[in-house]
Structure 1
Amino acid sequence: MSDTWRMDIETPADVNAIPADAQVTATGLASKVLQAGTGAESPAAADTVTVHYSGWTTDGKLFDSSVKRGQTASFPLNRVIKGWTEGLQLMVVGEKRRFWIPAELAYGENAGGGRPSGLLVFEVELFDIKKAPEPPKTPEDVAGVPDNAEVRESGLASRVLSAGTGTEHPTKQSMVTVHYSGWTLDGQLFDSSVERGEPATFGLFQVIAGWTEGVQLMVAGEKRRFWIPGKLAYGDNPQNGAPGGMLVFDVELLKVGQ
């Protein structure tokens, strides 16, 4: 830990407004380097970072601090407020930086749930970067069901990408562990356990109909590509932000059962 961090955390003198010597990006995010880093590489949005941080409102109130808790924080950069996602990509390991994050890149002007509102000021020191796994490549046959796919009566289509080693097929009531990636027909990746670096476990009765039907065709160790029509996925015009129409999934069945 850098010796610049102390448990008795002083409020920055320039906490109430963006100072003239701050660097301001096109989004309105402002920052200045307090301590130069020793690393050469900056994190990407999907990477996991380990940091110490403290945050103040513009009236000088400390509202959160990993330093006070005595424990660094680790998180993927694409799962935090926009100002953090953008700002930490400017940093290298060993660097300490002060940020002035406008409301639209934080929690808004009238944040609920006890969160601070308006412009927020953070001091952040970057200790470590854990690179995210490489995103899966877009399938060459993502745009539609290919001639070599097996099409079932329901409209579900699939083809085996690699044979499995197991002999047991899951049932509708089975728990399964899988790695998967999903694309829309225009090649847009919308979800991927591979990219997160963590397989998913769920009951086949808990997922979309195309998964319930399709994964039952598989055995452990098998990898299969599915073309799932909208009626077996989220519909053609879902209202909850889910992708619409036919979806393409690559699924690798790692385990059947808990």
Structure 2
Amino acid sequence: MKNVFKVSLLAAAVAFTVGCNEKAEQEAPATETETVVEAAAFANSQEKAAYAIGSSFSRYVETTLEKQAEFGLELDKEIILQGITDTLRGNSKLTDEEMVETLKAYDTEVQAAAEKVMAEKTAKASEEAKTFLAENAKVEGVTVTESGLQYSVITEAEGPKPKAEDTVTVHYVGTLLDGTEFDSSVARGEPAKFPLNRVIPGWTEGVQLMSVGEKYKFVIPAELGYGEQGAGSIPPGATLVFEVELLEIAAADEVAAK
């Protein structure tokens, strides 16, 4: 984990500015009166720049503190302000060496707390997944394969089935067990196309069961998905639910000939 305080004033300012652009665009524009008051608050551009640096750095620190609070660590903002003020006035109570050692030790503490929280969340998700999979396996129409993949047929059709080496075109919607949608070709309005042997194991196995025109629901355990690492918005140890419609199959030799 990167040291949470390793950031220059300029980098903090840039990071904050970029992160807030979208939010700023959504806010109502200032009235003429508000604009005049804001402009009058600074004697020149240097004063305004100085204020912006302080403000953006404070936002960065605030965000960092909020994140650390999720791990059960809370720092006193007044003491942080005292440290900034003292140091800017050349009266820091710590030497450079003491600051480095203190921050290294705190960084280790933050990392340990974060790992503990993550381990607890993963363990909880694992238990919830086991319960869900056990109950879902009992649902009428659900088939459980030897690997642990669960599937049910939503729409049936007759036709060819893909091999692992083939390229398939599909429409799909992926959700977590709580219903959170993390990916959807349907929402994007464009089907996905990919070699079937270059996706998660649950997809490689499951889509080979389908004929063109069929729609299946897959419940994919973490070990057939993204495992204990997770991916993007998919948390570690997540069981995934996909509704998949197979639209087209292109054999490997056909793709190679193009």
TM-score (norm 1): 0.44
Larger Rg: 2
- Higher-helix-fraction structure: 2
- Higher-strand-fraction structure: 1
TM-score (norm 2): 0.44
